[in-house]
Every structure is written in structure tokens, then in C-alpha cells.
Structure 1
Amino acid sequence: MTAQDTALPEDVAALIGKVQYEKRADFPAERGYIWTSCASVQNGNPLFWDDAVAAELTGGHIAPLSLLSAWARPHYWAPGAEGEQLSLQVHFDLKIRFELPEAIMTDNTNVFYEPVRLGDIVTSRQVLRSVSPEKRTKLGIGRFWVIDVEYHNQDGALLGTESYTGYGYRREAGA
């Protein structure tokens, strides 16, 4: 690899730190999703099931932290939407831009701020934080990138941030 192979193209460098794909959820946070999620993992925490407990501990119902991204994830298909609906679109854009057909997530960190409450309408937005020069790993030649997904409620309060490190790569011949 030469220095030219590893340099970050200007169009990609211009995206670092910029908000992309800001999307307001099509539906408010609601109990059915919370109960279905809790039931799927047998989470019997009364905070999510009992009105009195929720009122006493958090001033009303909140969603489990693990559901933060659920409120803003697009359905795979939606009436009137064109093409496949994807979350983490910046990741897929980078795969296409660098012609890297394979990718994995190597790290995910979540930071939570305000809880999601019933009726909240969540807006997500993606921010590309960094893209590495080309690297060779056991998987192949590619690049690492870090993408933050920020979540806000209808009042603008920060609910949380998911930070993903991905590695897009192409397998080397014979690998």
C-alpha cells in the first residue's frame, strides 16, 4: 500500500463531524413495544409493568435502555418509502464509497442520558467521527470507521448516543 492508497478522500473527510440522516420516528414510544420487549427476555422488572412503581421511581413509565434505538429504527419496508430502509446508513454509504463489500462491527458503546418516556417521539441522527487509513487485518484490506448515532426526544433533550466502530473490508485473493 502506498500513502495515496491510505489517504482519506476529500469528500469523506468533509463528512467527519457533520450530522447526516436526521430522522424523526414515525411513531411515539408506547407500552406495547415495551411489554413485548420485556416479555421476549422475561424481564419482570415492575418499573416496566406496574403503574404505581413507575410513578414512584421515575415519575411515570420509561422504556428499558436497551430499546433506545428501537424508537428510531426504520421498518424494513414502509408505505411510500423508496427502496430498502436501513438504520446506520452512514455505514452502508462508506462500504459503497470505498468499494468494501464486507463489514463487521468491532465495537459498540452506549451512553444514556434522559430516559425515553411514553409518548416521546425520538429523532436520530448519524455523525461520522473518523475513518482510518487502509489497514490489513486477517479479514482483508479495509478501513475502520466510527459512527455516533444520537437520539433526542421531541423537546430536543439528548436521550443517548450509540457509538459504533465498523471495519469495512475486501477479502484478499486466496483468503
Structure 2
Amino acid sequence: MSDELPEDVITLIDQTVHEETADFPVERGYVWTACASVENGNPLYWDETAAAEITGGPIAPLSMLSTWFRPHHWAPGRDEPKLPLQVHFDLKKRLNLPEAIIAEFTTVFHEPVRPGDVLTTCQRLRSVSPVKRTKLGRGRFWTIDVEYRNVRGELCGVESYTGFGYNREEAAA
């Protein structure tokens, strides 16, 4: 593996890529199913009056932000399955790092997601480290932000992923 970062990867840093619109709108049935599965009785998700008083209407739980963008494995007319976090897979391929883990994940929330919203998302590569050696192998760390916006263009949240792509056969002793 070359220690030099390819120019096309350097050019990708801080660029917006993989802009997409969700395949389906936010719906309360998904919210209720998710809340029921973990016995989340927060009235914001169940009670119209409480939601109206507290948040100006129904909202989805913060933890469901990426739910609205998890692609279905199959859809009519789609030849290949969609992958979430496409930049991660692009980097693995481009840098010839077949193995990868997500080493850190954070989310910053902004505007609430509401039933009926159709979210849009984009991905942004924030950084790629020099070559590092870890117990997993020799590779690079990268940080990717995924931004989510509602139909009004308001920022709903940003997920930040730090991944480590590596070659297992070069693992440290």
C-alpha cells in the first residue's frame, strides 16, 4: 500500500457526494412500531395533544434519523442494491482496503423529523489519515459526515462516522 493519498481522494475531501432523496416518507406507523419494540411510551410519539403542545405536532424519535434513509435491499426497477454510507465503500475500493470497521459514531440533532417529511441526504468525506498500523492491520482512518435535511431544506441532523480500512494480512505482530 502506498503511503501517498491518491489525488482523486484528496479532491473528494469536503465535497458533497451521493445526494439522494429517501424512497419513502416518514410515517407514524414506523414510529409506533419502533417505539413499541423498545417499550418507549413517550407521549411525543403517541399523543397528538402532547406533541402539539410540546413540539408543534408529531415528531419521530431522534434515534430514528437514519431509519428514513436505510435503503430497502430490493426495489422494483433497481438492478443493484443500495448501500448506506456509500463513501465508506468507495474508499475501501479506491484505497484497496478490503476490511473496514466503524471505530466511532456520533450524531448531532437539529430540527425534528416529522411525519410526511421526505428526507434528503448527502455524504461528505471530512478527512483521511496517513497510513497507520494497528492490531487489525495496516490502513487508514477516515471521517465521513452524513447530513439529513427535511422537505423545507432544514438540517435535521448530522451523523459522523470514523472508519478504519485495512489489510488484514499486514496485521501487526
TM-score (norm 1): 0.94
Matched, 1:83 2:74: no
Per the alignment, residue 37 of structure 1 pairs with 34
Aligned mates of 1:29, 1:68 — CA distance in 2: 10
Q: Quote the RMSD (CA, aligned, Å).
A: 1.3
Q: CA deviation at 1:71?
A: 1.0
Residue equivalent to 1:107: 104
Per mean C-alpha deviation after superposition, the further-off stretch among 134-143 and 74-83 is: 74-83
What are the superposed Cα offsets for residues 88-117 of structure 1, whole Å, 9 maximum, x if unpaired? 000001111111111110101100000001
User: 1:136 maps to which residue?
Assistant: 133
> Does 1:151 pair with 2:148?
yes
The percentage of aligned residue pairs carrying the same residue is: 65
The one-letter amino acid paired with 1:75 is H
State the one-letter code of the partner of 1:85.
Answer: K
Task: Give the conservation status (yes or no) of the 8 Å contact 2:132–2:138.
Answer: yes
Aligned match of 1:25: 22
5+ long unaligned stretches in structure 2: none
Task: After superposition, give the CA deviation of every residue in 1:67-106 in whole Å (9 maximum; x if it has no partner).
Answer: 1111122111111112121110000011111111111101
Q: Deviation per CA, 1:9-36, whole angstroms, max 9, x where unpaired?
A: 1010010011111110121111011011
Relative to the length of structure 2, the TM-score reads 0.95
* Structure 1 stretches lacking a partner, 5+ long: none
- In structure 2, C-alpha distance between the alignment counterparts of 1:99 and 1:79, rounded to whole Å: 32
Provide runs of 4+ in structure 1 moved above 6 Å: none
Q: How many residues align?
A: 172
Q: Given that residues 137 and 170 in structure 2 are in contact (C-alpha distance below 8 angstroms), is that contact kept between their aligned partners in structure 1?
A: no
Paired position in structure 1 for 2:120: 123
**Which residue identity does 2:92 align to in structure 1?**
K
Contact 1:144/1:165, CA 8 A, preserved across alignment: yes
